[in-house]
Amino acid sequence: MKYHAYIISNHSNSVLYTGITNNLKRRVFEHKTGKIKSSFAKKYKLYKLLWFQEFNSSLDAIEAEKKSKAGEESKRLI
């Protein structure tokens, strides 16, 4: 099974959401149609895929997600 770490945004790229999934195509569809369970993603209408990376292990995808979030956080502090 393949896993993906990904970042999506809204139409103006003003809000970012980082996540992982084992089916990227389905997950992006869920974001675009508002069927995603995350109230954060639904509230900010996050649907635009900005970045993704494929992994063979869910642990590797989680690690990439954490690194991505750490990078986003450090940019906000500057």
Side-chain half-sphere CA neighbours of 45 within 13 A: 5
Give every CB contact of residue 27 below 8 A, 6+ residues apart in sequence. 4, 6, 19, 21, 36
Q: Tell me the CATH class for 3-77.
A: alpha beta
Q: Domain-by-domain residue ranges, the chain?
A: 3-77
Both structure tokens of 33: 């149609």
pLDDT digits (tens, 9 = 90+) for 16-63: 889 999 999 999 998 888 887 767 888 888 889 999 999 999 999 999
pTM of the model as a whole? 0.82
